């Protein structure tokens, strides 16, 4: 490994915000480990970032699977010898159907990936970061606006994102003794495949269907880079980056 090379793991790195952040980290000179369930999008992210000259490692990973998470971090340690940054970004939603109609399996799938997956990755990151030299590192969690306020018919996603806030706080506290900083970025209406429906209209709390504005996901990547490149004695605990006119603040 090159001296002073910074190493990052990005989960959900094949598409959307994860891809944008991974590419931005490559431009900053990070070696980036690309994790996600599907190999092909991860390889596409690596190919898109090749011009940066930064090394990448593709590790197909289901973050809900403890064994797969252990492999991800073991391969990172073998390839690069350390870990400086974990971006817990992988996430899914359940179908937007009435709460009472959700199945146990639909609930569990969201919890397993969004919350348990973030915990498993955090745990493995701790095990590397506290024992490396120089010691410590940074964990950034993708919280979402849903960590503050729900959308209609979103109980599993909203619950996990509120849970992510608790995990962020606990990680921030428990990481102090190891020089591990942890913060959370809450993103509102970044333009990705997941938010494409926003422009066609999405359900509001009052039952209406309203088209919502979005913002370029590049702005999210810039915010994450700011958080990531702070020295470990400084931390952005929580940051909200959102489309200016989305109907969140006030009463819509």
Q: How many angstroms separate the first and last alpha carbons of the chain?
A: 51
Q: Which residues of 169-196 are buried (b: 16+ CB within 10 A; e: fewer)?
A: eebbeebeebebbbbbbbbbbbbbeebe
CB 90 within 8 Å of CB 111: no
Assigned token pair, 187: 């993103």
Whether the bond into 242 is cis, omega within 30 of 0:
no
Residue 98, classed as helix, strand or coil, is coil
Assigned token pair, 239: 């940051």
Residue 122, classed as helix, strand or coil, is helix
Q: Helix, strand, coil proportions of the chain in percent (round to 5)?
A: 45, 20, 35
Catalytic site residues?
A: 157
Question: Which of the 8 DSSP states describes residue 95?
Answer: -
Q: Which residue's structure tokens are 């939603």?
A: 93
């Amino acid at each position: 490994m090159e001296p002073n090379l910074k190493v990052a793991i990005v989960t959900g790195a094949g598409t959307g915000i994860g891809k944008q952040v991974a590419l931005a980290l490559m431009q900053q000179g990070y070696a980036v480990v690309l994790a996600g369930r599907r190999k092909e999008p991860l390889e596409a992210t690596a190919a898109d970032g090749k011009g940066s000259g930064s090394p990448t490692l593709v590790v197909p990973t289901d973050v809900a699977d403890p064994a797969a998470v252990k492999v991800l971090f073991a391969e990172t340690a073998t390839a690069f010898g350390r870990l400086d940054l974990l971006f817990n970004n992988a996430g899914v939603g359940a179908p937007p159907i009435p709460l009472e109609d959700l199945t146990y399996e639909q609930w569990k799938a969201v919890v397993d990936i969004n919350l348990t997956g973030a915990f498993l990755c955090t745990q493995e990151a701790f095990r590397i970061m506290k024992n490396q030299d120089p010691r410590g590192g940074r964990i950034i969690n993708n919280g979402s606006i849903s960590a503050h306020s729900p959308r209609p018919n979103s109980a599993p996603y909203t619950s996990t994102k509120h849970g992510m806030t608790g995990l962020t706080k606990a990680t921030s506290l428990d990481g102090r003794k190891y020089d591990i900083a942890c913060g959370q970025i809450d993103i509102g209406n970044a333009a990705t495949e997941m938010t494409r429906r926003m422009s066609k209209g999405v359900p509001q709390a009052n039952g209406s269907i309203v088209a919502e504005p979005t913002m370029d996901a590049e702005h999210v990547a810039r915010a994450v880079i700011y958080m990531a490149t702070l020295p470990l004695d400084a931390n952005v605990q929580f940051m909200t980056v959102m489309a200016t006119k989305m109907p969140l603040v006030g009463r819509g």
